[in-house]
Amino acid sequence: MSAPPTLPITNPQTTSSSVSQSSVLRAFLSRFTSSIRSGFSQRRPWYELLDRSSLARPDSLTEAYSRIRKNFTYFRVNYVTLLTAVLALSLLTHPFSLLVLLSLLGAWAFLYLFRSSDQPLVIAGRTFTDAETLIGLVALTVVVVFFSSVGSLLISALLIGFGIVCAHGAFRVPEDLFLDDQEPANAGFLSFLGGAQAAATAAAARV
C-alpha cells in the first residue's frame, strides 16, 4: 500500500516576510520616482543657464560668492543635473569602476536596506545579525571608496562638476533672475531621503 501524497505546506511567516520586503521596495521606488519628477518640474530653462549675454567677470571674490549663492538657489536643479551628468560620464568611461560601484549598491540594497528584519542573513552556514551586517557593509564601503580607483574617480568627477558649477555661478549675472525665497528647501531632488523610511514603514504596516 502506497503512502498518501504529501501536501505542500507554505510557511506563512516566510510569505509575510517576502510581501513586506517587496512592499518596502515598492514604497521606496515610488517615493524616489515622484521626487525625481518633482525635481525636474522645478528645472529652469537651459537657455537661461547658457545665456552668453548674461556672463560677466565678477569684480571681487565677495561678488563672485554672492553670484554663486543666488545662482545656486535659482539653478539648483540644473546644477544637480549637470553634476550627475559629469559623474555618470566619468563612470561610463571606466566600466570596471561602474561595475564595482553597482555591486556595492546592490549589496547595500539586498543585504541591509530591503532585507526583512525577521529574515537573518546566512552566509556559508553562519548567521549574521543586523549589526554585524551593517559593520561589514560599512567596512566594505570604506575599502571600495578609499582604497580603490572608485574613490578617486568619484572624487575627481565631483570636483570637476563642482568646478563647473562654481565657475558658471560666479560669471552668471543674476540680476535678471526671479529668485523665489519662499520655495521650500527640501523640495525636488533628494527629498525622498527624508520621507522614504516613513513611507516604507507605513507600507509595511499595512501588510
pLDDT band at 196 (very low <50, low <70, confident <90, very high): very low
Lowest mean pLDDT among 20-34, 46-60, 165-179: 20-34
CA-CA distance, 114 to 200, in Å (whole number)? Answer: 10
Average pLDDT over every residue of 152-172: 93
Q: Flag whether pLDDT at 205 surpasses 50.
A: no
| Average pLDDT of span 140-150 | 87
Cell triple for 155: 572624487
Question: What does the mean pLDDT of the chain come to?
Answer: 76
Instruction: Give the pLDDT band (50/70/90) at residue 165.
Output: very high
- The confidence score (pLDDT) of residue 31 equals 72
Q: What whole-number distance in Å separates Cα of residue 26 and Cα of residue 92?
A: 27
pLDDT at residue 51 is higher than 90:
no
- Residue 87: pLDDT band with limits 50, 70, 90: very high
How far apart, in whole angstroms, are the C-alpha atoms of residue 202 and residue 35?
18
Backbone CA torsion sign across 131, 103, 100, 157? negative
Cα–Cα distance measured from residue 12 to residue 100, given in angstroms and rounded to the nearest whole number: 36
Coil vs helix vs strand at 154: helix
Whether this model's pTM surpasses 0.85:
no
Query: What does each C-alpha distance from 126 to 7, 123, 150, 168 come to in angstroms?
Result: 31, 5, 30, 54
pLDDT at residue 168 greater than cutoff 90 = yes
> Distance (Å, rounded) from C-alpha 154 to C-alpha 101?
10
How many C-beta atoms surround the C-beta of residue 35 within 10 A?
21
Residue 136 phi/psi, 5-degree rounding, is -65, -40
**Interval 25-53 mean pLDDT:** 73
Question: Rounded distance, CA 112 to CA 106, Å?
Answer: 10
Which residues, in sequence order, are bridge partners of residue 79?
Answer: none
- Per-residue pLDDT of 90-134, as tens digits, reads 999 999 999 999 999 898 888 888 777 677 777 777 788 888 888
Distance between CA 136 and CA 144 in Å, rounded?
Answer: 12
How far is 141 from 145, CA to CA, in rounded Å? 6
What backbone torsions phi and psi does residue 121 show, to the nearest 5 degrees?
Answer: -90, 120
The percent of residues above 90 in pLDDT, for the chain, comes to 31
Q: What is the pLDDT of residue 159?
A: 95
